[in-house]
Structure 1
Amino acid sequence: MLPACGDNMAAPVRIILEFGGGAELLFDGMKKHHVTLAGQEQPWDIKQLLVWIQRNLLKERPELFVQGDSVRPGILVLINDADWELMGELEYQLQDQDNIVFISTLHGG
């Protein structure tokens, strides 16, 4: 039997986003955001999450947070307390209850 339309939609994904090291200033000064991402056919990945963040959370100066389709150099990304480079970076597929942390290591003088 073929699945009905919409049966292959994944459940929503609830994650926690944290911003630190000054990056929180781009998000109205809020360091922690509890987010629910709508279910979709394909699993959410970090690349899609960055687009979602830009459209829904980022309040000012996007050039200080993103560059192209990734985060700007100088922003450390942790996925569940592990460097995202160990997790597949942009291709990492988000899991329910993941904790994603963005820490700016850039400091003006």
Structure 2
Amino acid sequence: MSSSPENLTVKVEFSGGLELLFSNKRTHTITLPAHTPSTSTTPTTIRDLVIYLCDELMRDPRRDLFVLDGTVRPGILVLINDADWELEGEDAYEVKNGDSILFVSTLHGG
């Protein structure tokens, strides 16, 4: 999948049970607009990506297992290009073409 200056192509992976929320598919290659839909100048962030994932890819109605209060819920590790998202600005990180983003649930039932 190629991208244009107006689009970003990113690889998104789910693990630790999160793939169940996304049609039991672990890896997705998606194309996003390079800028938020509401503006033509604000770069797309992880926050925008999470909204896209919930609106476009999530097939399970239990959205609250992935997001809480508008961001990735506690207990889900997010890696951006193999680095913890806390080092990258969390959901304010500006997504770049070719990024690899991994969501891993660390929550386990007992």
- TM (norm. structure 2) is 0.87
Q: Secondary structure at the match of 1:77?
A: strand
Look up the match of 1:55.
55
Unaligned runs of 5+ in 1: 1-9
Specify which of 2, 14, 28 is matched with residue 9 of structure 2: 14
SS at match of 2:29: strand
- Counterpart for residue 30 of structure 1: 25
Instruction: In structure 2, list runs of 5 or more residues that go unmatched.
Output: none
Which residue of structure 2 aligns with residue 4 of structure 1?
Answer: none
Structure 1 residue 58, shift from structure 2 partner: 1.0
Larger radius of gyration between Structure 1 and Structure 2 = 1
Letter in 2 for 1:68: D
Q: How many residues align?
A: 100
Report what 2:106 is aligned to: 105
CA RMSD of aligned residues (A): 1.0
Superposition deviation, residue 82 in structure 1: 0.1
Moved more, 40-49 or 29-38: 40-49
Q: Secondary structure at the match of 2:97?
A: coil
1:33 and 1:71 map into 2 onto residues whose CA distance is 18
How far residue 95 of structure 1 moved from its aligned partner, in angstroms, is 0.4
Give the letter for the 2:12 counterpart.
Answer: L
- Runs of 4+ displaced beyond 4 Å: none
Q: SS state of the match for residue 13, structure 2?
A: strand
| Identical positions, percent | 47
More displaced 10-residue stretch of structure 1: 47-56 or 77-86: 47-56
For 1:10-53, what per-residue CA distance to the aligned partner results, in whole angstroms no more than 9, with x for missing partners? 52000000000111010011000000002432210011111111
